[in-house]
Amino acid sequence: MSPVNILNLSSYTVTGISEGDHDYHIVATVKHPPTNCLHCSQENIRGFGRREQMVKDLAMHGKRVGIYVDTRRYQCQSCNKTFYEPLPDVDEKRKMTTRLVNWIGKQSISRTFASLAEEIGISEGTVRSIFRDYINELEKAVRFEIPQWMGIDEIHLIKPRCVVSNIQNNTIVDILKDRNKSTVTRYLSQLDKLDQVQYVAMDMWRPYRDAVEIVIPEAQIVIDKFHVVRMANDALERVRKSLREQLTPKQRRGLMNDRFVLLKRERDLTDIESFMLDGWCQNYPELGLAYRQKEDFYAIYEAKSPAEAKALFTTWLHTLTPEIRDQFSDLVRAWQNWEPYICNYFNHPVTNAYTESLNNLIRVMNRLGRGYSFEALRAKILFSEGAFKTEKKRPKFQRKPADQVAERFIGYSLVTDLEGEYMDIPAFLRRSTEDDESTEEVLNYGVDISTLTSLIEKGLL
């Protein structure tokens, strides 16, 4: 095989190639050796020995590549210091080419560290180190737009984490290492343009509320509707489970299989499902009471104002019977403790309705990436290539000063527009002094959840 241009690195001259079963060994020299001292910049340098350095490069033809560079050592006659000639296109921290480091960084988002280490012929620890550096650079370069409707929720990645989302665009903005008040406060504090945040939807977790009230006091906090109504379903489930001791094994299996009917809204039941529900409610009145309370609580969210919602809740609370009051106690306490924020929903119906799909997505990623650290899983979610939701924003036209345009028409009394219509100079200037468009601005709203799901389903992550 001819050594000419096999590396496609213009700074090197290839002088020899040998090939093994798994590797290419390429001998090369630097085309342009240094002429100045690296320490004092003087030109008075002379050769002072040589050594061979082996540099890893991108694999070729399914084989790993090692570049053996005959590197010369120099001594400066001015400052008397010695140095080796620098190697162009080689990463300063590692004995590998810059393009290999960049390739490993990109690949580490979608591939395991072990597979990359095997393919390149390096240690898994080196891949992990490159991954960290690559992510740090991405963190500096990638900036998501501050959402006007921000979502703060909890997901489980190895342990509970805080996820920040853009509700209007159905995107993930960031995932924090935990859901502590200090972590959320620190994250929000370092964001720019916080005055753009109008609403923050969240679950009933005090550290989230405290962090937002400290950093973004002007934003309206809205407790996510689905976190509240889910507590009504949980109460119904407690009633259902409490009945199991009264049932035969066959009835228990039937009630377990029919639980989806109990959790379904009454208006959405089919005729068969309504028949099944009537049977359970007639045989077990306590279950019927709990189902009715669940449905009546859902109806509160059909209110048109906070005042109406509060009145409906008060009426609902008075209808709770002693038989099921304990099972609904968590819901009652949550409403009473968070009522102002819950009722904000009725003025601003903002919700993290898609977070369940996000949780399902992350559970899948967790299974695919067993053994991954939180940092690796977070990077796979936030920096997966092709998953960003972007928009090009064209700036407004800017008019040129009229005197600059008028210079073109000195000596003319009439001009024609694009349609050939004659008009006087002032009229033409009013219509024709628009400048060319400047460069389009690209807005990045974060990681699109549906796109990310599609990438996972296709096996691209």
State pLDDT tens for residues 255-265. 666 677 777 77
Average pLDDT over residues 6-31: 88
Range list of H helices, 218-319: 225-242, 249-257, 259-263, 271-283, 285-300, 306-318
**Residue 373, by phi and psi: left (phi above 0), alpha (psi -120 to 50) or beta?**
beta
Give me the pLDDT at residue 270, please: 84
415 — pLDDT class (breaks 50, 70, 90): very low
More reliable by pLDDT, 274 or 411: 274
232 — pLDDT class (breaks 50, 70, 90): very high
Partner residues linked to 17 by β-bridges: 26
Does position 443 have pLDDT exceeding 70, yes or no? Answer: yes
For 311, the token pair is 């009145």
Percentage helix, strand, coil for the chain under 3-state DSSP, each rounded to 5: 45, 25, 30
Give me the pLDDT at residue 395, please: 64
Give me the pLDDT at residue 286, please: 86
Give me the pLDDT at residue 423, please: 53
441-448: strand order across its sheet: 220-223, 199-202, 149-157, 159-166, 171-176, 441-448, 388-393
Per-position b or e across 4-15, b if 16+ CB within 10 A of its CB: eeebebeebebe
More reliable by pLDDT, 170 or 182: 182
Q: Which residue has the tokens 């099944």?
A: 276
Instruction: Please give the radius of gyration of the chain, using alpha carbons only, rounded to the nearest integer.
Output: 33
Does position 414 have pLDDT exceeding 50, yes or no? Answer: no
Question: In residues, how long is the chain?
Answer: 461
Average the pLDDT over each of 36-40, 275-279, 329-333, 347-351 and give the range with the smallest value: 275-279
Round to whole Å and give the CA distance between 459 and 461: 6
315 — pLDDT class (breaks 50, 70, 90): very high
From the list 226, 202, 224, 232, the residue with the least C-alpha distance to 313 is: 232
More reliable by pLDDT, 115 or 423: 115
Amino acid at 406: A
Does position 409 have pLDDT exceeding 70, yes or no? Answer: no
Average pLDDT over residues 387-408: 65
- Would you identify the CATH topology of the domain 149-224+353-382? Nucleotidyltransferase; domain 5 (3.30.420)
Report DSSP letters for 39-57, one per residue: TT--S-EEEEEEEEEEEEE
From the list 427, 392, 435, 391, the residue with the least C-alpha distance to 409 is: 427
Mean per-residue pLDDT over the chain, rounded: 82
Give me the pLDDT at residue 437, please: 47
* DSSP single-letter state for residue 158: S
More reliable by pLDDT, 391 or 105: 105
Does position 459 have pLDDT exceeding 80, yes or no? Answer: no
Average pLDDT over residues 223-247: 86
Average pLDDT over residues 394-406: 58
Note if the pTM is more than 0.85.
Answer: no
